[in-house]
């Protein structure tokens, strides 16, 4: 794309490199060491260097953010894309990804917010009967037993176009039944008249919680992808730690794509490009952590 090449020529690559950042770790000071003037001076210098790096990082991130619309211009033209945001998803991350989707010329398929109860162990016994009772005819849940997997299969079927035919996998009534019941019972939220079948689904999460919520989210996203075929699970950097959702999905070598570090502009761009890659039949894990393949698709 000519615009992409232009941005790269103006130093986008360098900005990305700085935006990904490198933290200088300050030495660990004990009480006795703190009295040693050379050590104290070294500590002050490291702290100052960290501040300089953070300022540079923020400035580079702004350059990347300002170039984002050009980077994704038209890459999802006429592709219906749905956003699913978890309860802990950062509003700024969601807004930025939504704006990038607009720049990509994607067709808006709506936005669904999962409430806290959707991923809580205390409420799964209430959630499961709703999912089973409202499952569209094409949803195959007979061999599934967890709330995460079943919710992915049911909502994936209700919200997706068939990857081969691009026809809706559920009827209008089936989709309405699932969505209305889940909203009425406090598991999701969305605006009436905004949800249409999608060719791709972007799941936006935050820092995540250890334990059941992360496992349920990983199973949910994987279940969505088993049906939809073009799912990207994104989250903040901490989602790759403590066996949280991004870490679990990457460990499973799943077919969906993942993006960590959505607090940074470059990885929000990666979310859009990873969605394009999924629709083209590809897969990857992107971000700044060691479990990522690269920062951006095609940028190893």
Which of 35, 69, 103 is the last residue before a domain boundary? 69
Residues 39, 141 within the same domain: no
Say how many domains are in the chain: 2
Query: Can you give the pTM of this predicted structure?
Result: 0.83
Which of 34, 69, 104 is the last residue before a domain boundary? 69
Per the document, the length of the chain is 300
* Among candidate residues 96, 66, 108, 112, the one with its CA nearest the CA of residue 262: 96
Residues 89, 44 within the same domain: no
Query: What does the alpha-carbon distance between residue 194 and residue 191 come to, in Å, rounded to a whole number?
Result: 6
CA distances to 103, 152, 156, 170 from 145, rounded to whole Å, are 40, 12, 16, 22
Residues 143, 232 within the same domain: yes
Which of 45, 69, 93 is the last residue before a domain boundary? 69
Residues 82, 148 within the same domain: yes
| Sequential pLDDT tens for the chain (300 residues) | 443 444 444 445 545 554 555 433 444 544 444 455 788 877 777 777 666 656 656 655 667 767 889 999 999 999 999 999 999 999 999 999 999 999 999 999 999 999 999 999 999 999 999 999 999 999 999 999 999 999 999 999 999 999 999 999 999 999 999 999 999 999 999 999 999 999 999 999 999 999 999 999 999 999 999 999 999 999 999 999 999 999 999 999 899 999 999 999 999 999 999 999 999 999 999 999 999 999 999 865
Residues 65, 96 within the same domain: no
Answer whether residue 249 is part of any domain: yes
Residues 100, 245 within the same domain: yes
Residues 30, 77 within the same domain: no
């Amino acid at each position: 794309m000519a615009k992409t090449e232009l941005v790269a020529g103006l130093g986008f690559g360098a900005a990305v490199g700085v935006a990904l950042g490198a933290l200088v770790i300050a030495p660990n000071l004990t009480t006795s060491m703190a009295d040693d003037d050379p050590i104290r001076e070294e500590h002050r210098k490291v702290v100052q260097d960290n501040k300089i790096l953070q300022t540079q990082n923020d400035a580079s991130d702004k350059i990347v953010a300002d170039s984002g619309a050009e980077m994704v211009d038209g890459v999802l033209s006429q592709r219906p894309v749905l956003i699913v945001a978890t309860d802990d998803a950062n509003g700024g991350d969601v807004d930025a990804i939504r704006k990038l989707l607009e720049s990509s010329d994607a067709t808006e398929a709506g936005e669904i917010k999962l409430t806290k109860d959707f991923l809580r162990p205390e409420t799964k016994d209430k959630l499961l009967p709703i999912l089973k009772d409202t499952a569209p005819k094409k949803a195959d849940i007979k061999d599934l037993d967890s709330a995460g997997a079943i919710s992915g299969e049911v909502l994936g079927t209700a919200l997706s176009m068939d990857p081969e035919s691009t026809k809706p996998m559920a009827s209008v009534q089936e989709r309405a039944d699932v969505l209305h019941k889940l909203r009425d019972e406090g598991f999701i939220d969305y605006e009436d008249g905004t949800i249409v079948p999608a060719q791709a689904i972007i799941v936006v999460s935050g820092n995540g919680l250890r334990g059941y919520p992360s496992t349920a989210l990983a199973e949910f996203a994987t279940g969505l992808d088993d049906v939809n075929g073009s799912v990207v699970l994104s989250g903040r950097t901490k989602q790759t730690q403590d066996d949280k959702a991004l870490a679990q999905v990457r460990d499973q070598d799943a077919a969906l794509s993942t993006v960590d570090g959505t607090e940074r502009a470059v990885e929000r761009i990666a979310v859009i490009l990873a969605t394009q890659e999924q629709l083209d039949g590809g897969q990857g894990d992107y971000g700044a952590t060691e479990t990522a393949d690269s920062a951006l698709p095609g940028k190893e």
